[in-house]
Amino acid sequence: MRTGPEMHALVERLYPFCRSITGDGVRQTLAVIGEHLPLDRYEVPSGTEVLDWTVPPEWNIRDAFVADSSGRRVIDFRKSNLHVVGYSVPVDRVVRLSELRAHLHTLPEQPSLIPYRTSYYSPTWGFCLAQDVLDTLPDGDYHVKIDSTLADGHLTYAEHVVPGEVGDEVLVSCHLCHPSLANDNLAGIAVAVALAQALAEEKPYYTYRFLFMPGTIGAITWLARNFERIDQVKHGVVLACAGDRGSLTYKRSRRGDADIDRVFAHILKDKPHEIRDFSPYGYDERQFCSPGFNLGVGSLTRTPYAGYPEYHTSADNPSFVDPDSMADTLETLRTAFSVLDRNRRYVNLSPYGEPQLGKRGLYDSLGGRSDAKEAQLAMLWVLSLSDGDHSLLDIAERADLPFGAVAAAADALQAAGLLKG
């Protein structure tokens, strides 16, 4: 699975599952991901203390509806799993519409859409529906039923590891706790799966650890369970909203100048994009960047969190997700990680005066190349700044040259015996 249409097909397959922060919908989703990647799956019992949080009871739902006096379902979970407020407690009774209204959620400003709502940590129940439908409901009695369970169970998450030359790690994290929302969260999952497949063929320098887990509580649980090895995490990206037609947006880590922040600033400069400073609001970058961890983890989206009208509504469906946009997100990540993997520091082995490149065949190798001037300039910059303190990314930034040209120059100079890695 590598192309935009193939990633889109995965989004469509996962779309019907009723996911939440726990439960069988998460397991169904991981089972499908496991058809594409080998996964290590973890089940963390309800009641487990994780940092300042506690793993909640497991929530599962079989059916839910609101029926009028004739028995007709006016709200039907079987038609859209967004119709039920996530983590709703079970209910089965008849109520007047006036009482029911307190448990109904709509979007008056988007009257044809169903909103997405949850209540993870405050036991209640509720339904979501289009305002247009609510406006048609006459006064009277309604049969309300939510066939759900909240009981001791587990929080489920999974990891996939692409081994590298070194044990230092790059995290790629996706949340999988939303029900039928295609851009937020399924597009990110599909891109992550394709990225892991691509990296496995490239034999990367770093080890890449892919995390598929529920938002907030999942990241907190992972951090709590990996506290002793967190120093291995050198870089990371939280991936979400990866398939809409907006331009790319990168949100810096809390550090603001981590290598991953600089890499994305460098590779995005020649295409439409936005770079935002860190804020403690959004996706799980806020957990990885919390002060005690302060990891170099940024966030990549297309249109950012809550930034498009379809966000957290029934309009965030597979037709909203664009295969070409997912392909662009995938290629951007591959480019970023190729820079990250290739970024090294070198020492010039002939630092007294400029070494003669011609007698080593380095100028001849540029003959006829359309980018000969850029390549020659890159060699000179690499020689000038390879003092053991400057990385190739430092050099590319200072010289205002593409990273690829600088890396190619370093390869040529090393092969000629002029650089030591």
Q: Side chain identity at 177, as an amino acid letter?
A: C
Cα distances from 342 to residues 41, 199, 394, in angstroms, run: 31, 14, 12
Q: Side chain identity at 238, as an amino acid letter?
A: V
The annotation status of 103 as a binding-site residue, yes or no, is: no
Q: Is 175 exposed, middle or buried (0-12, 13-18, 19+ CB in 10 A)?
A: buried
Residue with tokens 């999974």: 158
Q: Side chain identity at 69, as an amino acid letter?
A: S
Outline where DSSP puts E strands in 103-151: 104-105, 127-128, 141-151
CA atoms within 13 A of residue 104's CA, in its CB half-sphere: 24
As a whole number of Å, the CA-based R_g of the chain is 25
Q: Residue 60 forms beta bridges with which residues?
A: 149
CB atoms within 10 A of CB 73: 16
The annotation status of 184 as a binding-site residue, yes or no, is: yes
The annotation status of 261 as a binding-site residue, yes or no, is: no
Contacts of 248 (CB under 8 A, 6+ apart): 268, 271, 272, 273, 274, 300, 301, 302, 328, 329, 332
CB atoms within 10 A of CB 253: 25
Q: Rounded CA gap, 219 and 214, in Å? A: 7
**Contact call for residues 247 and 274 (beta carbons, < 8 A):** yes
Residue with tokens 């082995």: 349
Quick one: how far is CA 421 from the chain centroid? 33
Closest among 219, 221, 336, 231 to 286, alpha carbons compared: 219
**Contact call for residues 210 and 192 (beta carbons, < 8 A):** yes
- Known binding residues are 178, 184, 312
- Known binding residues for Zn(2+) are 178, 184, 312
